[in-house]
Amino acid sequence: MQVNRRSFLMGSAGAAAGLAFGVGSAIPAFAEGTQLRAMWWGSNDRAKRTLDVAKLYQSKTPDVTIVGESLSGEGYWTKLATQMAGRAIPDILQLEPGTISDYSKRGACLPLDEFVPSTLKVDSFGPDMLKLTTIDGKLYGVGLGLNSFSMFFDTVEFEKAGIPLPTTDLTWDEYAKLAVELAKSSGKGGGPYAARYNYVFDAWLRQRGKSVFAKESVGLGFTADDAREWFDYWEKLRKAGGTVAADVQTLDQNTIDTNCLGLGKSVIGMAYSNQMIGYQLIIKNKLGITMLPREKKGGPSGHYYRPALIWSVGATTKQGEAAAKFIDFFVNDIEAGKILGVERGVPMSPAVREAILPQLNPTEQETVKYVNMLKDQVGEYPRPVPMGATQFDQRVLRPICDELAFERISPADAANRLVEEGKATLKG
């Protein structure tokens, strides 16, 4: 079945869009004809896996119809904002570590504590994993898998250039040199203009004992001088030819098919570890995976474990228990786990993790090995981000970096604006 990246529907309500599957008769558990609306972003591969799990769930719960929509990264957040304003939030929505705190504090998510453990059986995940989606003492989501930041690279282009594959102790200075060399040998950009990647900036700051958001209070965890050093690094690398051009980088919506590596415009990409699966599906050459560069050899990595993605329940739903039941199936059912693999990260459930390991392909196995390797490299999971964190990323950091890459502003001006506009955006 062909799945449209932009949007598709599942269930009888989606027949007009050309993708549908049936509605069964009612059973006593829920009201007759229970319909759950789910929304997420991601690649075609993610949409296909999600669709297949929804079909499986409907076959086992015939009174429930899942009406789903898959969007691009930018389109997703725009549509979610519109639906929040109209109090028409999906019953089930996909969030991530950088957005769950923001959206739960803005009233988009239903607390799930009442469904644990009767409906949501997540005890086996361990208390630390549940903390990742607990905001102000309440559980607002269930992690769908574990991941961390990573750097992907085209191994064939490295071999052609005669450059050794990058290792986990690569420094930022070493990265800059190899990015320029790769650009010269490949005719592509060496890597991304990653100034606009919030999570890479955060890792870079953590290597220096700081962070994007303050650790003990609401606000920023860095100064204008820190931001200027960050922007200076990427501007020097761009001018040396080590990054893709500004018009390529501005296409990036934090999705696989808009990333410069996914577009075939660079040798290196920076993304989350579970996304290696989606990248390898669209890239012919074999990819490798390693950690982001660090300030100095032996220094802090800036990495931490995080829930790759999260299912939350919309605050306006009238089907909270039904939504929680579907999420429980999604994360705990062995058959569902085999369909999902590690595309949304290494499964939180130990039973599912053990069951799927034998069936993983080489790329999927690499992502599991990578996550396991990080156990001695990761730091503490950060405190929940403040309200306005999503806006800081999408409407402050990225636009400023785009102006910088197009040489409309200087690194110093960009740094001052980032701090000034960032402070105005964040709330308690």
For residues 185 and 269, membership in a common domain is answered with yes
Residue 273 maps to a domain: yes
Q: Which residue has the higher pLDDT, 12 or 380?
A: 380
Residues 327-332 have a mean pLDDT of: 98
Q: Which long-range contacts (CB under 8 A, 24 or more apart) does 127-131 make?
A: 128/381, 129/307, 129/348, 131/381
Q: Concatenated DSSP letters for 132-187?
A: TTEETTEE--EE--EE-EEEEEEHHHHHHHT-PPP-TT-BHHHHHHHHHHHHHHHS
pLDDT score at 32: 60
Determine, yes or no, domain membership for 360: yes
Cis bond before residue 164 (omega within 30° of 0): no
Instruction: Please say whether the beta carbons of 363 and 287 come within 8 A.
Output: yes
**Which tokens hold the place of 199?**
């999570």
Statement to judge: residues 262 and 331 lie in one domain: no
In a domain, 137, yes or no: yes
Domain around 412: 149-303+388-425
Q: Tens digits of per-residue pLDDT, 221-279?
A: 999 999 999 999 999 999 999 999 999 999 998 889 999 999 999 999 999 999 999 99
Structure tokens at 259: 């990333």
Residue 380 lies in a domain: no
* pLDDT one-digit tens code per residue, 383-412: 888 999 999 999 999 999 999 999 999 999
Q: How far is CA 395 from the centre of its chain?
A: 18
Alpha-carbon distance of 78 to 76, in angstroms, equals 5
Q: Please report the pLDDT score of residue 428 as a whole number.
A: 59
Q: Residue 297: what residue type?
A: K
Do 156 and 293 reside in the same domain of the chain?
yes
Strands 146-147 and 306-307: antiparallel
pLDDT at 8 over 70: no
Alpha-carbon gap, residue 129 to 336, rounded angstroms: 20
Q: Residue 162 corresponds to which amino acid?
A: G
Residues 255 and 365 in one domain: no
Q: Has residue 316 got a pLDDT over 70?
A: yes
Q: Give the CA radius of gyration of the chain.
A: 21
Structural domain includes residue 170: yes
Better-predicted residue by pLDDT, 20 or 270: 270
What CATH number is given to the structural domain containing 364?
3.40.190.10
Confidence (pTM): 0.85
Residue 367 has a pLDDT of: 96
Q: What is the mean pLDDT of residues 322-343?
A: 98
Write out the two tokens for 101.
């705190």
Q: What pLDDT, in 10s, does the model give residues 101-127? A: 999 999 999 999 999 999 999 999 888
Shared-domain flag, residues 335 and 419: no
* Order of all β-strands in the sheet with 92-95: 64-71, 34-41, 92-95, 310-313, 142-143
Say if residue 159 is in the same domain as residue 235. yes
Q: Could you tell me if 110 and 87 lie in one domain? A: yes
| pLDDT for 178 beyond 70 | yes
Question: For the chain, what is the domain count?
Answer: 2
Task: Say if residue 271 is exposed, middle or buried (CB neighbours under 10 Å; 0-12, 13-18, 19+).
Answer: buried
Give Dmax over CA atoms of the chain in angstroms.
66
Average pLDDT over residues 205-213: 97
Statement: residue 29 has pLDDT above 60: no
Examine the domain organization and report whether 59 and 89 are in the same domain.
yes
| Residue 121 token pair | 């059986």
Whether residue 27 is predicted with pLDDT greater than 50 in this model: the reply is: no
